[in-house]
Structure 1
Amino acid sequence: MIEIIMIEDDEELAEILTEFLGKNDICVTNYRDPLLGIKELEKKHFDLMLLDLTLPNIDGLEVCKKVTAYNNIPIIISSARSDTQDKVDALEYGADDYLPKPYDPKELLARINSVLRRYSIIPTQVGSNKSIFMVDKDSMSIYFKNNKLDLTRAEYEILTLFLSKPNFIFSRENIADKCQSITSKGDYKSIDVMIGRLRNKICEDSKNPKYILSVRGRGYKVNL
């Protein structure tokens, strides 16, 4: 079952969405207090966050910014705020989608499924119609051209991060912040070493890589 954490202070809306999504095999845990929601997210794994912006104690944009600084959870913003800058800020802070209120719960379900597909299976096709990369979060495994990769925990976290946003450039600082297994946050040389190992495991020529690319002065990305 898909586990969603929702931070929404409108109790009536939260009940409606929880009931509707529950009928579609999605378990929703809602928090009216965003600070309690953030604490719970630090203790328990959730597949996606549904986040309102107008909240007590702390603005939803700040919640988004705080969460994406340490967690790679997909985030859908659900808000009545229609200001374009709010949408821009939310997406720049790491949100994956922005759904203006009011909306039909069926549209929310469709967007949840769309975002989770992007995070769970990267549907990049090659000539044989087989996915290049596939992520199985339940077993913490990644398959490359249908072959399971033998990865360390840190390598898994790095590659999953890259695959969550293909063609997005992650700085070494971003990688260190978002990958919990990297404990030496200032030691970026270890990240370069792990990138080299990942390239070897997918049989890439380190001088002419095809998938894991370095962008001079900026960081790394997966080219899909």
Structure 2
Amino acid sequence: MTSSIFVRSKLHCATACQAQEWCNSFFYNDVIKTCVPQWLVHVSPNDAVMTPGWIYFRVTSASCPKFGSASSNESYVIDRVSVTCYRVVTSPKLTWLASRDACTNNNERLTVLEPVEKARFIQFFLNTNTAFFGFTGSFAVGASRPQAVWNTSWPASGPDFIWVNGQAVNYDATATFWYVNRPNNAQNKDNVVGLKTNKNFTWEDLGESEERVYICERAYYPGN
């Protein structure tokens, strides 16, 4: 869950949730006038830890498939702006190729963080969700160099990362998301892109063989 806020009423809680692009549902307690906004859309209120007096509400009719308990950090979270469902897979950690295939096998893909509204959403989500505090290393996303040129120097034109949908990474548009002096293709071995947990989930280029947490995505259809 996210942090609670004090409100005047259920309507005030709903209004506060709708004002945040990331908020898709909330718990409300009328006795103590407390609101707990949620990233997730729980399949049923029983999917979350509840105590007497709390009532669950949704502010969107959109939904994503459910993986296990909807209160876990491996459930989908909805981005209403980009119409995308994201799932952060914390276990088992996988190499970049294995994580790409794992997403594909679930009718998903490793997340594509363009347009930049998607990158902004994911960065904010990871930085503010306590479920991800304490993780180390990097989280894998769906950008890599063409596999045929892995472990080689960059071409004269510069970095050649592409997303798993075939779109080239736009370095001008995404410049603010990269960590300082990245990408740098250290020792000609940085073939994929990840999010640095200890640097506010900024982007870095990495080797592909290390096993990491990874992020899958799929489109959702409002009202389904």
TM-score bracket, shorter-length normalisation: under 0.3
Question: Which structure features the higher share of strand residues?
Answer: 2
TM-score, normalising length: structure 1: 0.26
With a CA cutoff of 8 Å and minimum separation of 6, indicate the structure with the bigger relative contact order. Answer: 2
TM-score, normalising length: structure 2: 0.26
